[in-house]
A = this chain, B = another copy of it.
């Protein structure tokens, strides 16, 4: 079942600005045992994105109600929420009255081999760069061509993720993940004020990890700095935390940093899952 503005549908008006211009936002949410994980955080990010793009937020209550309709039939799955500026307006100009489109859909939970989490994945640097744009940086919006063409750079199934630099030459994130590296017991990640997405797991790590002995520092770093790290790991809401065991020709071991962050995240899930939904 897919809910479009509350009705069971599998299609959208051609005039929807999501289709015409990518004029909207989305969230990809893990559902475990019938409960969307970190649902409250996803809603906060969605509302922040709406505020930054001047799209009226439909309200947490309505989205929660509709999400419940979908996930009650499932144990483990992925809930995707898309919000768009709806139809209308003249060209790029938004309509005087915006009727936000809501699309909630449920997808199978991707089953990844357990060694991705345990020993790490193989990655590569992408040639496609992330554009610099502070007006859109951080937002999980529907303009995702950069990620699509970066992901199209490789088809080797042994490589699970590609790491992207921005047009200033700094390393930012993976095509579908945020990137962290550990050096001398400190965790580093790129700021996302010029490009990149403010991931939910990234946010949890930023907030909690120093109390686990791993303070996080946001800074701009180069390929060379990344390759001299003690360990690397990648995060998103579906995969959680994956260590990197290989980046191009460089090899890494899963370290105490990734291990501690994974344990922290499990504890965080266990403590918060009952609170929401």
Question: Which of A's residues lie within 8 Å of B, judged by CB?
Answer: 2, 4, 9-23, 26, 53-54, 82, 85, 90-94, 103, 105, 110, 128-136, 141-152, 167, 175-176, 195
Contact = CB atoms under 8 A, between A and B. Distances in A.
A21 B53 CA distance: 16
Q: Which of A2, A19, A94 has the most CB of B within 10 A?
A: A19
Contacts of A146: 133, 135-136
A11 B2 CA distance: 15
Counting every copy of the chain, the complex holds: 2
26 contacts: A2-B14, A10-B15, A11-B11, A11-B13, A11-B14, A12-B14, A12-B19, A14-B103, A21-B143, A21-B144, A21-B148, A22-B142, A90-B110, A91-B176, A92-B150, A92-B175, A129-B134, A129-B135, A131-B195, A132-B132, A133-B146, A134-B167, A135-B146, A136-B149, A142-B145, A143-B145
Nearest to A13: B11
A136 B131 contact: yes
A80 to B, nearest CB: 9
A2 B146 CA distance: 29
B91 A142 contact: no
Name the residue among A13, A103, A105, A151 with the largest chain B CB count within 10 angstroms. A151
Contacts of A143: 21-22, 143-145
Contact of A53 (B18, B144, B149, B176): B149
Given A14-B12, A16-B19, A135 B149 contact: yes
Contacts of A134: 129, 167
B147 A21 contact: yes
A200 to B, nearest CB: 16
Contact of A149 (B19, B54, B176): B54
Contacts of A26: 20
A147 B4 CA distance: 26
A103 B12 CA distance: 13
A146 B13 CA distance: 22
B132 A136 contact: no
Given A12-B14, A143-B143, A151 B91 contact: yes
Given A11-B12, A93-B151, A129-B133, 12 more contacts: A4-B14, A10-B13, A14-B103, A21-B142, A53-B148, A53-B149, A94-B148, A129-B135, A131-B131, A131-B132, A136-B146, A136-B149
A82 B17 CA distance: 13
Given A11-B11, A12-B11, A14-B103, A23 B148 contact: yes
